[in-house]
Amino acid sequence: MRVLVFGTKGQVGSELKRILGPEDSVRFASRLEADFTKPQMIEQLIEEFRPSHIINAAAYTFVDQAEIDEALAFVVNAEALQVMASCALKVDAMLVHYSTDYVFDGSSQMSYEEGDTPNPLGVYGKSKLLGEVYIRESGCRYLILRTSWVISATGNNFIKTILKLAKVNEQLSVVNDQIGAPTSADLIARVTCDLIQKDEQDPLSSEIYHLSSSGEASWFDVAVHAINRAINAGVSLACDPNNVSPIPTSDYPTRAARPANSRLNSDKLETLLALNMPYWTDGVDGTIDELIRKGLLK
């Protein structure tokens, strides 16, 4: 097995790097080695390294900024994937790619299954959906893993933002009418490694899978849980969990609209891998513990 990983400085990419480690059979490419605005860099790396598996963790992930930088979001999240998928086909590699709950409009009352009809609300979701379409149309072997609310001790995410705010503010207001499940980059990377190992033993068919923690929470629930966990672990914060107020999305306007329901149903993936996704609090707790270990919550 020869694995080429793109996007190794991001949340998921960093965890992939930690798990897959320094091996001759694994190549890690950050933006420096493969800038997705220069697709010939992607082509060259794949043709030189000739991987059996390509994992793409790179993406344009600035949801609000994408409304302004529309062209760039489509280049990185869609056009680069068209090139990557056609190279994967040429060298007969399996392409593992991450997509998002934001391909859905969030109007369903149920958790989203893989076959549900996408209808993205904003540019980011539209660009990620087109990336999916290009991969599926390319003829390459692929796994598209749609995930949600990614958290880790590296990079930017809700847990780091809320704890930073809780450090200096006695009161916080957090939206409670968007629901989903925080999913740790560590879980996503571990499941990805299980999938490529399984594919190596017995080739998998090309599919979309939903990969999300179990359970559900609003951003408000996640904030209260994170603040409680940090305080119980001895972190000094200005904000007491009782001083976090739930607010509607209408009181916290953002440039890009977000789905009210981001819940993804991971049953299909759980059946394939014979596993139960961990409850969302596990990933939040693990992230906070790692932030503490790294001295990032002082």
Ligand X SMILES: NC(=O)c1ccc[n+]([C@@H]2O[C@H](COP(=O)([O-])OP(=O)(O)OC[C@H]3O[C@@H](n4cnc5c(N)ncnc54)[C@H](OP(=O)(O)O)[C@@H]3O)[C@@H](O)[C@H]2O)c1
* Contact between 264 and 149 (Cβ < 8 Å): no
Q: Which of 100, 192, 213, 266 binds ligand X (CB under 6 A)?
A: 100
Interface with ligand X in residues 123-152 (CB under 6 A):
128, 147-150
28/237 with CB nearer ligand X: 28
Strands (E) in 68-215, as ranges, are: 94-100, 141-147, 150-151, 172-175, 179-180, 183-184, 207-210
> Residue 260 and residue 104: Cα distance in Å, rounded?
10
Segment contacting ligand X (CB under 6 A): 98-106, 108-116, 238-246, 269-277? 98-106
User: What residues does 6 pair with on adjacent strands?
Assistant: 29, 56
> Residue 296 and residue 116: Cα distance in Å, rounded?
40
Catalytic residue among 60, 102, 112, 124: 124
192 is a site residue for ligand X (CB under 6 A): no
Closest distance to ligand X from the beta carbon of 28 (Å): 11
> Residue 264 and residue 212: Cα distance in Å, rounded?
6
Closest distance to ligand X from the beta carbon of 170 (Å): 28
> Residue 29 and residue 76: Cα distance in Å, rounded?
15
* N- to C-terminal Cα separation, the chain: 42
57 is a site residue for ligand X (CB under 6 A): yes
Interface with ligand X in residues 35-54 (CB under 6 A):
35-37
Binding mask 232-271 for ligand X (x = CB under 6 A): ----------------------------------------
Binding footprint of ligand X on the chain (CB under 6 A)? 7, 9-13, 30-31, 34-37, 57-61, 76, 98, 100-101, 128, 147-150, 155, 185
Question: Which residues are designated catalytic?
Answer: 124
